[in-house]
Structure formats: C-alpha cells, structure tokens
Amino acid sequence: MFELSDSQKHGAIFLGAFIVAGIVISTLIFPFWNLIRADVFEEVEIISGSKGICYATTSDIIPKTIKNCDLESGTFVTIKYGEGLAWATIVEP
C-alpha cells in the first residue's frame, strides 16, 4: 500500500483548497450559469418607462428591466431574456 508523507499530505490539502477556492472565486466573478441559460423570446407590453429604462412583465412572472428603451407604456415589443433573469433586451420594436 502507498503511504503519503506529511509534506505530501499537506501539499495535497493545499492543492485541493486552492482548486476549490479558484472555483468559488471564478463563479462569483463570472457566473458561468449565465452562459448556459436558455434565451427566451417573448412579445410583451411595456408597462412603464422613464429615463431610458422600460419595464415589462413576462410569462415567467419576473418583471424585466430593459435598458436603452424610450418606448411609451402600452407599446408591444419582442424582447429576449435569459431564463429566470430580471433584465431583457429589445429584439424587435
């Protein structure tokens, strides 16, 4: 049977901790799940807008914030958003 020395055990623990810390930090800085979310396209009605930001309610019941939007309330547009996210972009005015 193979036995690790104390320095090898410490090295393995350090390496494991380093890998786990790297995964946690990279997930906080660049959440990979945003890359794998399905894009949803939906026609919605703008419910309000002010100062270049519009709001719309979607079928997932999460109100969406749409930046760079100067549309009036009651305007229908097609938007794209990531499943479960609270922001969207206009695809078709």
Please list the residues that pair with 89 across neighbouring strands.
Answer: 80
Q: What count of other Cβ atoms lies within 10 Å of the Cβ of residue 54?
A: 25
Secondary structure (3-state) at 59: coil
What pLDDT is recorded for position 17?
87
pLDDT per position as a tens digit, 7-57: 888 888 888 888 888 877 766 666 666 666 788 999 999 998 888 999 999
Inform me whether the pLDDT recorded for 72 exceeds 70.
yes
pTM above 0.75, yes or no: no
Rg, Å, the chain Cα set: 23
Domain ranges within the chain, ordered by starting residue = 1-36, 39-92
pLDDT on residue 93: 57
Any idea which fold 39-92 has?
OB fold (Dihydrolipoamide Acetyltransferase, E2P) (2.40.50)
